[in-house]
Structure 1
Amino acid sequence: MIQEKFKFYKPCKLLQPYIRYYWVFKSNRPLDAFTYPIGCPQIIFHKQTPLYIPELNVTQHKLTISGQVNFSSHLYADGNTEMIVVVFQPHAMSMFLNIPTSLFYNREVSGYDIENKSLNELATRIFDCENNSICISYIEKWLVSQIADNLADTTYRIKRIDAAIQRIYITPQISVNELSSIACLSKKQFERLFHSFVGINPKEYTRIVRFQKA
Structure 2
Amino acid sequence: MFQQFYEPHPALKEFVNNIMIHEVKLDANHIPRAFPIPPLPEHCLMFYVRNTMHVEDPVTKERRPMPSSIVIGPNLNRHIMVAGRHHLMIKVGFQAGGLYRFLGIPMSELLGNDEFDGLDLLGSEMNEVDERLREAVSFFEMKTIVENFLLKRAGRLKQMLPIDHVLPLLIKQRGLLKIDRLASEACLSTRQFERVFQQRIGLSPRHFSRLVRFAQAWIIKEQHPGISWIKIAHECGYFDQMHLIRDFREFAGVNPSLIEQELLESQTKFFNRLFC
Give TM class, smaller chain.
Answer: 0.7 to 0.9
- TM-score, normalized by length of structure 1? 0.82
In structure 2, what is the equivalent of residue 70 of structure 1? 76
In structure 2, what is the equivalent of residue 179 of structure 1? 182
**Which residues of structure 1 form unaligned runs of 5+?**
none
- Larger displacement relative to structure 2 (20-29 or 81-90): 20-29
Cα separation, partners in 2 of 1:31 and 1:189, compared to 1, 3 Å: farther
Contact 1:27 1:79 in 2 (8 A): yes
Partners of 1:181 and 1:37 lie apart in 2 by: 28
Letter of the 2:9 counterpart: C
In structure 2, what is the equivalent of residue 32 of structure 1? 34
In structure 1, what is the equivalent of residue 160 of structure 2? 155
Secondary structure (helix, strand or coil) at the match of 1:154 reads: coil
Structure 1 or 2, whichever has the larger Rg, is 2
In structure 1, what is the equivalent of residue 259 of structure 2? none
Secondary structure (helix, strand or coil) at the match of 1:39 reads: coil
Quote how far apart the aligned CAs of 1:5 are: 2.2
Partners of 1:115 and 1:144 lie apart in 2 by: 14
Partners of 1:24 and 1:83 lie apart in 2 by: 6
Q: How many residues were matched structurally?
A: 207
Which residue, out of 85, 94, 105, partners 1:99?
Answer: 105
Partners of 2:170 and 2:46 lie apart in 1 by: 28
Partners of 2:208 and 2:64 lie apart in 1 by: 24
Runs of 4+ in 1 over 6 A off after TM superposition: none
Identity across the alignment (%):
23
Contact 1:37 1:69 in 2 (8 A): yes
Letter of the 1:67 counterpart: G
In structure 1, what is the equivalent of residue 48 of structure 2? 46
In structure 1, what is the equivalent of residue 96 of structure 2? 90
Encode CA deviations 1:93-130: one digit per residue, 9 max, x unaligned. Answer: 12222323333335211111225244443333223334
Cα separation, partners in 2 of 1:192 and 1:59, compared to 1, 3 Å: farther
In structure 2, what is the equivalent of residue 207 of structure 1? 210
Partners of 1:147 and 1:5 lie apart in 2 by: 29
Cα separation, partners in 2 of 1:92 and 1:140, compared to 1, 3 Å: same
5 Å matches for 1:128-143?
A: 128-143=135-150
- TM-score, normalized by length of structure 2? 0.65
Quote how far apart the aligned CAs of 1:45 are: 0.8
Secondary structure (helix, strand or coil) at the match of 1:61 reads: coil
Letter of the 2:22 counterpart: F
Contact 1:95 1:147 in 2 (8 A): no
Letter of the 1:147 counterpart: A
